[in-house]
């Protein structure tokens, strides 16, 4: 499935791209937003970050750097924004964007990320291979309070639902280690009332219970965020981004779940209160249009927030 960039028109319109400007994409991913910026530059510079080397390599194949404009593609975490700009000798930039969702390519290629696949994969989930712990390490090594905190903090799984989930994890790992996405799905489904969670005639195929809802997505999301330390990196980069912007430059961030959205919302509110920035849109945030959702249902939880530096 081809990657579809979320809220691309809104991002590009409000970025107010100058052909000779300097723009930063903190989350290159599938490259849709970065490519739209690149196409509007003539002598400007695009700087893009991604810890996934494949994302960098794929984007290099999409662009022609024979002209006067320049693309600087950095295979590192966006939390190193300030350090990277210093290395490049760049003092200020004209716009910064971040799409905190994961591209379709990454969801399909990084082991353990996908919960809605029939392919059995190791529960790794590391986008950055320098991260030490895999998702399976967390599931097999954490204590009950630690797991409860992960699911509550990163996926809003609380109360009895969280307790059933953690008890099921401990029951499974008492007999064998949790190694694959199939193991985790089996655990999740075991917490739901269902007469038949496995395929008929002893096929061994996992069958999603009708009442599973979005619980598998939320569980996988929580582990992915924990493994990749996503919220800490987000908290780190936002002040760096505002500092890197020239006056009048804008920062736009697309979030997909409540934890990261709270971080962005509260940081933007503080900047507004301190008269360091103003909201970029007439609304506090933008949602995907009905038309966009008809083409890309994965965008349904996206929120776009933006500020302009004063």
Residue 115 lies in a domain: no
Do 101 and 14 belong together in one domain?
A: yes
Do 158 and 71 belong together in one domain?
A: no
Residue 127 lies in a domain: no
Helix (H), strand (E) at residue 304: strand 303-309
The tens digit of pLDDT for each residue in 206-263 reads 556 655 568 988 999 899 999 989 999 999 999 999 999 999 999 999 998 888 999 9
* Domain CATH for 148: 1.10.150.170
- For residue 220, give its domain range: 132-228
> Which of 228, 249, 270 finishes a domain?
228
Confidence (pLDDT) at 49: 97
Confidence (pLDDT) at 213: 65
Confidence (pLDDT) at 201: 32
Confidence (pLDDT) at 200: 33
Task: In whole angstroms, give the CA distance from residue 51 to residue 29.
Answer: 9
Do 220 and 242 belong together in one domain?
A: no
Name the stretches of the chain with pLDDT < 70: 1-3, 102-112, 114, 116-117, 194-213
Confidence (pLDDT) at 204: 46
Do 204 and 245 belong together in one domain?
A: no
Residue 69 lies in a domain: yes
Q: Checking DSSP bridges between strand 277-279 and strand 245-255, what pairing results, if any?
A: unpaired
Query: Which residues on adjacent β-strands are paired with residue 12?
Result: none
Do 93 and 32 belong together in one domain?
A: yes
Count up the domains in the chain and report the number: 2
Do 171 and 218 belong together in one domain?
A: yes
Residue 274 lies in a domain: yes
Do 12 and 101 belong together in one domain?
A: yes
> Which of 228, 254, 284 finishes a domain?
228
Do 223 and 247 belong together in one domain?
A: no
* Domain CATH for 12: 3.40.50.150
Residue 116 lies in a domain: no
Task: In whole angstroms, give the CA distance from residue 110 to residue 115.
Answer: 12
Do 292 and 145 belong together in one domain?
A: no
Confidence (pLDDT) at 196: 43
Residue 139 lies in a domain: yes
Confidence (pLDDT) at 132: 80
Encode burial over 87-124: b for 16+ CB neighbours within 10 A, e otherwise: eeeeeebbbbbbbbbbbbbbbeebbbbbbeeeeebebb
Is the pTM higher than 0.75? yes
> Which of 228, 260, 277 finishes a domain?
228
Do 176 and 219 belong together in one domain?
A: yes
Do 79 and 32 belong together in one domain?
A: yes
Do 90 and 160 belong together in one domain?
A: no
């Amino acid at each position: 499935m081809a990657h579809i960039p979320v809220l691309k028109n809104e991002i590009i319109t409000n970025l107010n791209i100058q052909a000779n400007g300097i723009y930063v994409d903190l989350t290159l991913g599938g490259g849709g937003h970065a490519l739209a910026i690149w196409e509007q530059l003539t002598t400007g510079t695009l700087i893009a970050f991604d810890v996934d080397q494949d994302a960098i390599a794929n984007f290099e194949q999409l662009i022609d750097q024979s002209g006067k404009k320049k693309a600087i593609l950095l295979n590192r975490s966006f939390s190193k924004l300030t350090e990277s700009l210093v290395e490049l000798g760049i003092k200020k930039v004209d716009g910064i964007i971040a799409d905190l969702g994961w591209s379709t390519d990454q969801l399909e290629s990084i082991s353990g990320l996908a919960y809605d696949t029939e392919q059995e994969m190791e529960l790794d989930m590391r986008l950055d291979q320098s991260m030490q712990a895999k998702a399976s390490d967390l599931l097999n090594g954490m204590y009950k309070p630690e797991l409860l905190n992960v699911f509550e903090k990163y996926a809003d799984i609380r109360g009895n639902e969280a307790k059933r989930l953690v008890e099921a994890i401990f029951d499974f790992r008492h007999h064998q280690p949790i190694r694959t996405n199939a193991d985790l799905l089996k655990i999740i489904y075991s917490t739901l009332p269902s007469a038949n969670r496995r395929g008929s005639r002893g096929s061994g195929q996992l069958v999603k219970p009708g009442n599973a809802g979005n619980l598998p997505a939320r569980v996988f999301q929580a582990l992915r965020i924990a493994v990749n330390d996503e919220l800490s990196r987000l908290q780190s980069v936002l002040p760096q981004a505002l500092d890197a912007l020239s006056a009048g430059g804008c920062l736009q961030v697309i979030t997909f779940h409540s934890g990261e959205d709270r971080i962005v919302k509260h940081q933007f509110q503080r900047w507004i209160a301190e008269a360091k920035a103003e909201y970029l849109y007439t609304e506090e945030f933008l949602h995907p249009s009905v038309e966009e959702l008809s083409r890309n249902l994965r965008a349904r939880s996206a929120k776009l927030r933006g500020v302009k530096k004063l």
